[in-house]
Amino acid sequence: MYPFPHLKPQEWTKQPLEIAKNNYNNHAANDDDNNTSSQTYYYLISTDPSLLSLEAINSSFAQDFMYWTKPAPMETLQRMINNSICLGLYECTSTTTASGDSTDNNNNNNDVEERPASTSSIAHGARTEPASARIQIGFARLVTDTVTFAYLTDVYVLPEYQGTGLGSWLLQCVDEVLDGMTDLRRFMLLTVGDRAEGFYRSVMGVETMGRNGKVIILGKKGRAGVV
């Protein structure tokens, strides 16, 4: 169940212009091994919490690139997700047999298939087949009252998928969620390093509000922001 009944779950799809490192060759090999079926690869971003993999998130939290956090007990992680708007980033595979039938081996795929295609201005393409495989490769979390304030944290794309534009796309989708909050006064986030600061400023239009040691405070006014 979506934790914020007054907000509708959103999703965006994108056909990969470039399969992430070490994945393209594997995909091609799989296609060659099974010439009676065809596979379509696409990326999905969704705010539907039922699609999130707690195991994948915790596994990412344990990696060195997630320097600001660490794994949490599953109960704690679930509570965190229940009280946030979370965007999951997924690599999906849709397999169509020679007869035109699509395979569907994922327990949650019926939910994915039944949701209407996104009409988002930043969505790329629309899914016509259900996913037969879905791997979570990224995440972003908005801590928010869903009305006047939102704080962005726990943003990541797995290292092997970085450099393909997925991080920028994820932040653009976060921005679209924020745009839907008509009474939003202020959006904020924290980061470390000049490169990350420039990235957030470029993609999300945030401004540097201050510094506390290595931590950089970024933010911008929402649609209802006055100061």
Q: pTM of the entire structure?
A: 0.79
- CATH topology for 11-158 is Aminopeptidase (3.40.630)
pLDDT attached to residue 198: 98
| C-alpha to C-alpha distance for 85 and 92, rounded to whole angstroms | 21
| C-alpha to C-alpha distance for 111 and 50, rounded to whole angstroms | 9
Grouped pLDDT means (10 residues each) for the chain, 227 residues: 78 74 49 62 95 97 94 97 98 73 45 38 44 89 98 97 96 97 98 97 98 97 93
What lies within 8 Å, CB to CB, of 93 at 6+ separation is 27, 39, 40, 41, 131, 132, 133, 134
pLDDT attached to residue 148: 98
Cβ-contact 223, 180 below 8 angstroms: no
Cβ-contact 203, 171 below 8 angstroms: yes
Name the residue ranges covered by the structural domains of the chain: 11-158
pLDDT attached to residue 113: 33
